[in-house]
Structure 1
Amino acid sequence: MFDSGKFVSVGDTNLFVSEAGNPQGRVIVLLHGGLQSRRDFIPLAQNLAKDYRLIAIDTRGHGRSGLGTASLTYRQLQDDFTLLLTTLGLQKFGIIGHSDGGIVALRLAASRAVQPEFVIAVGAHWVLPENDPARQIYQTINLEKWRGMFGSQIAVYNTENPKPDFGKLFKAATQMWLGCDENAYPGASVKNIQCPLLVVHGDDDMLVSRQQAFDLAEQVKGARLLNIPFASHTLLEDMPERIFPFLQDFMKLVPA
């Protein structure tokens, strides 16, 4: 799943786009987390594939997509996906975004440059205050620690990326995570989101607090909050069968 696909030009680079699932089904765009790839959605996608047309995109620098020359910021990723989705000519689609992908999904919906039918934001910050514990994690994590935790993911990246340089990508990603200007987290702009929003949070998420998830749901009119007990930041990979029924119930409430 998600092994084949095509490259779409977005300014200074090319993004890899892969499809799976039911070609006649409702369209869901899958946006992965930082330093991951489209492949991390496979466990969930196996549950979605029967009924939905799935479009998984490698963020610039990740998976098979080139890093390009632009700075890696959430604003840049928003612009990338806006152009890509427009180029693909998608008229109706929902978005499931995990972590960085969820942050970008929030920015996309808030900007209204594209009009998703719904957004499911999983383990995603909408703001990152200076005193947020996640900032300390981002400030202290280093390349060797990351290699120790996610060596197998890096090996796949080195195999499939056209110009692999994980050290460069790691530095760019950590700088993005620590950003605090208008190019970073969506902040108060999430109030502009008009499409249905489901905020999904793992109660044992070491990066995103329960309060952060609750506050995001409170910012957006009509938003729903799904807090999963005993679930970590990687809940979509760890327990897709448990999460899938809730996502399906939410999507069924959104008119097709």
Structure 2
Amino acid sequence: MKIFDHVSGSYLDHQGARIYYEVAGNPDGPVLLVIHGGFGHLRNFNYIIPELFSHYKVIGMDTRGHGKSTCGGNGLSYELIQQDAEKIIALLEVKTLCIMGFNDGGTVAYRLAAKAKLFTVEKIVTISSRWRLKDAEDCEELLRGINSGDYKSKFPGIYDLYQLQNPEPDFESFAEDLIRMWFDAEPSGYPDENVNAIGCPLLMIRGEKDLILTQESGSELVALLKNGKLVSIPSAGHQVFSDQPELFNNVVYDFLRPAPLSNRVVQS
């Protein structure tokens, strides 16, 4: 079973950027597209969902400016990342898939599912992922407080890996682009109430102690969906998969199995 290695992938040239992507997992399995969060990279999913590589053909991408992908000259936006993902889906001739996204990756997943035309999204899992600008505004001080110097000192391993991997490293500009994306009030930003166009089953997972995404926001999202479910996992924060890995994995695996899903909120 192959997992992501940051070696065996390919590049897509799109809108001024070189986007790195890989295909791993079970080559005969159903397709699962995974999209990482801000300051992350595709190999994060080796630890988030290790068992899914046995069952799914897993497509991962380093989103613009992250990992081995360049940012290009257009900055960052959820719309641009959505379009990059759509190009990869088309290039790999995928017609049906599930999508999983963490943080910013989940925001992109909402956009992909709401606007899907050339492919069918069967299920979505979002992890601690904002769907409207209000969610960013509610924790504005926290998000705007993430500057490049602060991040480098708090997370030196992530910074060092970025410097090592990225073909055009510029961490200060990268951090500034991310913050601008988080507060993008234009149509290129959050899907907001356009999430009601999502017709497939959707699972939103958050940690009970998450400061980035509230229970209220998750409940309001589920109310807009045709087929949605919210799970808040106790004793867990933003990186719920690290804080409660066993419970997180059980929730994800149960959801991805073929089963009916009704609109409901679940407090685990």
TM over 0.5: yes
**Equivalents in 2 of 1:164, 1:107: separation in Å?**
28
Query: Deviation of residue 130 (structure 1)?
Result: 8.1
Query: Deviation of residue 101 (structure 1)?
Result: 0.2
Render the CA deviation track for 1:1-28: whole Å, top value 9, x for unaligned.
4112111222312211122221111211
Which residue of the partner structure matches residue 233 of structure 1? 238
Query: SS in structure 1 opposite 2:133?
Result: coil
Which residue of the partner structure matches residue 265 of structure 2? none
Query: Deviation of residue 194 (structure 1)?
Result: 0.8
State the TM-score, normalized to the length of structure 1: 0.94
Which residue of the partner structure matches residue 62 of structure 1? 66
**Equivalents in 1 of 2:148, 2:224: separation in Å?**
35
Which residue of the partner structure matches residue 95 of structure 1? 99
Which residue of the partner structure matches residue 2 of structure 1? 4
**Greater CA drift, 15-24 or 54-63:** 15-24
**Equivalents in 2 of 1:17, 1:218: separation in Å?**
34
Q: Letter of the aligned partner of 1:43 in structure 2?
A: Y
State the TM-score, normalized to the length of structure 2: 0.90
Q: In the TM superposition, what are the counterparts of 1:15-94 in structure 2 within 5 Å?
A: 15-94=19-98
Of the three residues 200, 203, 206, the one matched with 1:195 is: 200
**Greater CA drift, 200-209 or 245-254:** 245-254
Q: Would you say 1:137 and 2:139 are equivalent positions?
A: no
Equivalent residues of 2:20, 2:62 under 8 A apart: yes
Q: Would you say 1:246 and 2:251 are equivalent positions?
A: yes
Query: Deviation of residue 240 (structure 1)?
Result: 3.1
**Equivalents in 2 of 1:76, 1:190: separation in Å?**
18
**Equivalents in 1 of 2:122, 2:92: separation in Å?**
16
Cα pair distance change 1:11/1:130, threshold 3 Å: closer
Q: Would you say 1:186 and 2:188 are equivalent positions?
A: no
**Greater CA drift, 129-138 or 105-114:** 129-138
Which residue of the partner structure matches residue 214 of structure 1? 219
Unaligned 5+ residue runs, structure 1? Answer: none
Q: Would you say 1:174 and 2:183 are equivalent positions?
A: no
Query: Deviation of residue 45 (structure 1)?
Result: 3.2
Query: Deviation of residue 161 (structure 1)?
Result: 1.0
Query: Deviation of residue 131 (structure 1)?
Result: 8.3
Extract structure 1 runs of 4+ deviating beyond 6 A.
none
Equivalent residues of 1:31, 1:56 under 8 A apart: yes
Of the three residues 133, 136, 158, the one matched with 1:153 is: 158
Q: Letter of the aligned partner of 1:94 in structure 2?
A: C
Unaligned 5+ residue runs, structure 2? Answer: 261-268
Query: Deviation of residue 78 (structure 1)?
Result: 1.4
**Equivalents in 2 of 1:233, 1:91: separation in Å?**
32
Equivalent residues of 2:235, 2:243 under 8 A apart: no
**Which structure has more RCO (C-alpha within 8 Å, separation ≥ 6)?**
1
Of the three residues 224, 231, 236, the one matched with 2:229 is: 224
Equivalent residues of 1:9, 1:15 under 8 A apart: yes
**Equivalents in 1 of 2:162, 2:200: separation in Å?**
34
